[in-house]
């Protein structure tokens, strides 16, 4: 593959070599080209590039020029710079005969050439131009331009377009980075920090529930002192006691659900909107050892159990081949939780009922793990985590594409989705040094990821403090 790319580039170099031989530019024209390229790289701002574009023809050939660019609407030409006035303040000034056209043309006094961008990066700009035209380049007086100069000026204008495109992209990206940094600061101030107040609210709610439980206990004590079992007041107290108990139990269940939701939401907010991600332009891992089952899998699964129940999907961990073995792995807990979130979300959507070898109709999701000795290298095992769902086995070639950005299986057309989830999974596992995939099986599909584990890691002890920080 690398050799074919090399040959392709080599062929293009030869084509360019032949083209420049055919161009037969004069020495002064070659010097103009070289000067333009050098100065376009030297100056970093768009304003300076505008000046270089207009002044090179003036200094080398005594030709005046005007540089027009299309506005974001892709229809209106604005005069940006000229060799006479420099940077223009009145964008509407210029030659009224200059309009956007596909091909070069003459006006009464000038020669006008369309400025075209680089097709390879055209789609990256935030606005569309008329057939990739960025603007128009006007050269005058027309009577000083012969056929050979026309050819040179057209090639020169092409180079203007490519350099303009690159500078526009640079400035666009700088603007986006500035906006993202501001957005992250706003999120930290207006979302993440206020979210912490929910912890205080939940703590107060827990205390109020305890107070209610204490009141219920006082009611119980009153009931115990009733002289007659059929006394109406005692009967009312018993009813109040049981009603209080039901309300407290229901309220406490709601509190626990809110706490679980708060913990998951806070984890996801911190993990996805971490400042370091935006600072470095990639996911920055905060690895820690944790109980993989109780801190990652089960809390994530708990969010989907009601949906599994609603769709009559059974859940088990029969695929777990090492249920009693503790594994030391360092992972970013928040990002790995979102890996399982994607797997379980897909399981809700795509798990299908099948008929097993005993003719039973079954529909289930199963998760587990197993060790793969020396999977990554000598002395570096792999720990394979799996999520199996019953249904139609995926074709092998399609399975390879499921983790590509934006790809959606034809079988998923009826379900809402973007094709991003599994690509996210792949990216997160790969920056952990692991690998992902899917294995079509007889009764469904086994999605998996494998994380590395060195064989010389310390053995796990029975110390509670140690156990709390171990992944298994």
**For the segment 375-424, what is each residue's pLDDT rounded down to a tens digit?**
998 888 899 999 999 999 988 888 878 888 877 766 666 566 567 889 99
Q: Which domain holds residue 372?
A: 292-467
**For the segment 96-107, what is each residue's pLDDT rounded down to a tens digit?**
999 999 999 999
How many whole angstroms separate alpha carbon 313 and alpha carbon 194?
A: 37
CATH assignment at residue 86: 3.30.450.40
pLDDT of residue 358: 82
Domain boundary among 219, 244, 273: 273
**For the segment 358-374, what is each residue's pLDDT rounded down to a tens digit?**
888 999 999 988 889 88
Q: Is residue 238 part of a domain?
A: yes
Domain count, the chain: 3
**Which residue from 68, 71, 151, 73 is spatially nearest to 114, judged by alpha carbons?**
68
pLDDT of residue 395: 86
Are 303 and 261 members of one domain?
A: no
Res 72 pLDDT > 80: no
Are 440 and 388 members of one domain?
A: yes
**For the segment 192-207, what is each residue's pLDDT rounded down to a tens digit?**
777 777 888 888 999 9
Q: Is residue 188 part of a domain?
A: no
| Mean pLDDT computed over 252-277 | 84
pLDDT of residue 150: 93
pLDDT of residue 270: 80
Q: What is the sign of the dihedral through the CA atoms of 265, 267, 272 and 274? A: positive
Are 244 and 156 members of one domain?
A: no
Q: Are 159 and 33 in contact (CB under 8 A)?
A: yes
Are 150 and 234 members of one domain?
A: no
Are 296 and 269 members of one domain?
A: no
Tell the burial category of 127 from Cβ atoms under 10 Å away from its Cβ (0-12, 13-18, 19+): exposed
Q: Is residue 305 part of a domain?
A: yes
Res 53 pLDDT > 90: yes
Are 269 and 298 members of one domain?
A: no
- Give the predicted TM-score (pTM) of the model: 0.63
Strands 111-116 and 354-355: unpaired
Res 442 pLDDT > 80: yes
pLDDT of residue 10: 86
Res 125 pLDDT > 70: no
Which of 119-123, 355-359, 458-462 is most confident? 355-359
Are 359 and 444 members of one domain?
A: yes
**Which residue from 408, 409, 415, 405 is spatially nearest to 395, judged by alpha carbons?**
409
pLDDT of residue 456: 60
CA atoms within 13 A on the CB side of 147: 2
Strands 444-454 and 64-70: unpaired
Are 335 and 242 members of one domain?
A: no
Are 220 and 364 members of one domain?
A: no
How many whole angstroms separate alpha carbon 424 and alpha carbon 420?
A: 6
Are 127 and 233 members of one domain?
A: no
Are 169 and 210 members of one domain?
A: no
Q: How far apart are the first and last CA of the chain?
A: 41
| Mean pLDDT computed over 15-20 | 82
Buried b / exposed e across 172-196, counting CB within 10 Å, b at 16+?
eeeeeeeeeeeebeebeeeebeeee
Instruction: Kindly indicate the confidence band of residue 54, based on its pLDDT and cuts at 50, 70 and 90.
Output: very high
């Amino acid at each position: 593959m690398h050799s074919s790319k090399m040959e392709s580039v080599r062929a293009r170099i030869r084509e360019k070599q032949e083209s420049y031989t055919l161009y037969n530019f004069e020495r002064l024209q070659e010097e103009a080209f070289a000067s333009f390229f050098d100065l376009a790289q030297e100056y970093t701002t768009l304003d300076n590039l505008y000046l270089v574009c207009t002044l090179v023809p003036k200094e080398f050939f005594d030709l005046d020029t005007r540089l027009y660019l299309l506005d974001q609407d892709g229809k209106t030409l604005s005069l940006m710079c000229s060799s006479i006035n420099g940077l223009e303040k009145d964008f509407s000034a210029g030659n009224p005969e200059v309009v956007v056209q596909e091909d070069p043309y003459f006006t009464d006094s000038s020669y006008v050439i369309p400025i075209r961008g680089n097709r390879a990066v055209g789609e990256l700009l935030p606005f569309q131009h008329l057939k990739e035209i960025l603007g128009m380049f006007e050269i005058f007086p027309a009577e000083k331009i012969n056929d050979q100069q026309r050819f040179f000026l057209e090639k020169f204008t092409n180079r203007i377009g490519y350099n303009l495109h690159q500078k526009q992209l640079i400035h666009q990206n700088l603007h986006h980075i500035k906006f993202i940094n501001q957005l992250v600061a706003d999120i930290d101030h207006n979302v993440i920090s206020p979210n912490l107040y929910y912890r205080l609210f939940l703590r107060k709610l827990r205390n109020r529930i305890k107070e209610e439980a204490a009141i219920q206990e006082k009611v119980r004590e009153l009931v115990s002192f009733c002289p007659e079992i059929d006394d109406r007041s005692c009967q009312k107290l018993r009813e109040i006691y049981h009603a209080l108990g039901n309300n407290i139990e229901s309220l406490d269940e709601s509190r626990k659900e809110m706490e679980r939701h708060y913990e998951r939401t806070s984890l996801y907010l911190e993990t996805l909107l971490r400042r370091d991600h935006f600072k470095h332009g990639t996911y920055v891992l905060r690895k820690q050892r944790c109980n993989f089952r109780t801190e990652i899998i089960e809390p994530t699964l708990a969010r989907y159990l009601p949906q599994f129940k609603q769709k009559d999907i059974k859940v088990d961990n029969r695929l777990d081949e090492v249920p009693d073995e503790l594994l030391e792995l360092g992972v970013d807990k928040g990002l790995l939780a979102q890996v399982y979130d994607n797997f379980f979300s897909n399981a809700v959507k795509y798990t299908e009922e099948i008929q097993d070898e005993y003719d039973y109709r079954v529909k289930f999701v199963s998760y587990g793990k197993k060790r793969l000795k020396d999977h990554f290298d000598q002395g570096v095992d792999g720990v394979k985590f799996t999520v199996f769902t019953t249904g139609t086995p995926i074709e092998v070639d399609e399975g390879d594409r499921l983790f590509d950005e934006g790809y959606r299986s034809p079988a998923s057309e009826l379900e809402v989705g973007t094709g991003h989830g599994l690509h996210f999974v792949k990216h997160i596992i790969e920056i952990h040094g692991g690998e992902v995939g899917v294995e079509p099986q007889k009764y469904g599909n086994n999605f998996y990821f494998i994380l590395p584990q060195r064989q010389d890691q310390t053995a796990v002890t029975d110390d509670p403090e140690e156990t709390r920080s171990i992944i298994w």
